[in-house]
Structure 1
Amino acid sequence: MKVENCTLGDYFSIVEDIVEFWGSNRTLKYHHPIYIHEFGQTAFVIRDEGKPIAYLFGFISDQSAGYVHLVGIRESYQKKGLGSLLYQHFIAYLKAKGYHKLKAITTPQNEKSIAFHHHKMGMEMIGELGKYTVPVVTGYAGKGEDRVVFIKDI
């Protein structure tokens, strides 16, 4: 499967079918067209028969790292290595631009995301153990909004 830059048309298809990617619309508020308009060089998509089946929206952060904001795979295409393929494409892009660090976050309750980032992608979790079974950075996403923060040297 081929990884390409995500177009605005792909973006609209993704948000229209958001439940097919995430099982609900809980992440819809995190999907904004700014990731295509302003960070289009780091917004990637995989299509099947012209229809987006997987995507990664990333950007370069102030910490001189590539940051993965969202990675979504249509549920019917999960467990086929598409998430890893998107990450590897983003990592290659980062390395070509001279970056050596990758970062991502998730919620402490998102066991599927934690397993993917930690076990499959080999990312380290930073933060402290507390009321969760994994380390978190307290208040990372705002007051009362703890997050699992992943980091990896690439």
Structure 2
Amino acid sequence: MIIRHMEPEDCGAIISAAPDWWGSTYASDMFSSWYIHHFRETCLVAEQGGDMIGFLMGFLSQTVPDEAYIRIVMVDPVARGQGVGRALYGNFFDRAAASGRTTIRCVTVPRKKDSIAFHTKLGFSIEPQEQELEGVPVCLNYDGRGGNRVMFKKLLVR
């Protein structure tokens, strides 16, 4: 497996893979070539044998200079459990640390128990919230459209 920067030319493959890899319809303007162009250094593709098997899209916070944010990660269902997600996250952590970032943030939806378990295994802590759903702290209306999210934080060790 190799991990490389995402390129604007990867946009079509990502848009094609996203619904199958996500398990439902997933549409985002993040998958556009302009997003990839502007955040190339923190958008990553995992490949095996020349085929994309996963990707991560993140960015370095412009507002909080010691933080980086992972917006979305998807792994081909056939490649899950093979360390692809862990490798993508590790590469992102290294890039964030090299840019002076000490904190990584990301979110998932409360119903994705596998995602919650994955993030906690990687050393993320769940951010406390005033509300809980099914025993998990959640930020209600995180996206301004009624979507609830579990918010994670990881401190990078230097």
TM over 0.5: same fold? yes
State the number of aligned residues.
152
Alignment of 1:66-85 (within 5 A): 66-85=68-87
Q: Could you tell me the percent identity over the aligned residues?
A: 31
143, 146, 152: which one aligns with 1:150:
152
Give the corresponding residue for 2:31: 32
Q: Which AA in structure 2 matches 1:146?
A: N
> Which 4+ runs in 1 deviate beyond 3 A?
none
SS of the equivalent of 2:133 reads: coil
Give the corresponding residue for 2:140: 138
Give the corresponding residue for 1:54: 54
Q: Which AA in structure 2 matches 1:94?
A: A
Looking at structure 1, the residues matched to 144 and 9 of structure 2 have their Cα atoms a distance apart, in angstroms, of: 32
Superposed CA RMSD in Å reads 1.6
Contact 2:131–2:137, Cα closer than 8 Å, also in 1: yes
Looking at structure 1, the residues matched to 15 and 31 of structure 2 have their Cα atoms a distance apart, in angstroms, of: 9
Give the TM-score taking structure 2 as reference length.
0.88
Looking at structure 1, the residues matched to 122 and 130 of structure 2 have their Cα atoms a distance apart, in angstroms, of: 21
Structure 2 gap ranges (5+): none
SS of the equivalent of 1:130 reads: strand
Give the TM-score taking structure 1 as reference length.
0.90
The Cα shift of 1:122 comes to 1.4
Contact 1:35–1:57, Cα closer than 8 Å, also in 2: no
Looking at structure 2, the residues matched to 152 and 81 of structure 1 have their Cα atoms a distance apart, in angstroms, of: 19
Indicate the larger mover: 27-36 or 16-25: 27-36
Q: Which AA in structure 1 matches 2:123?
A: G
Looking at structure 2, the residues matched to 19 and 139 of structure 1 have their Cα atoms a distance apart, in angstroms, of: 23
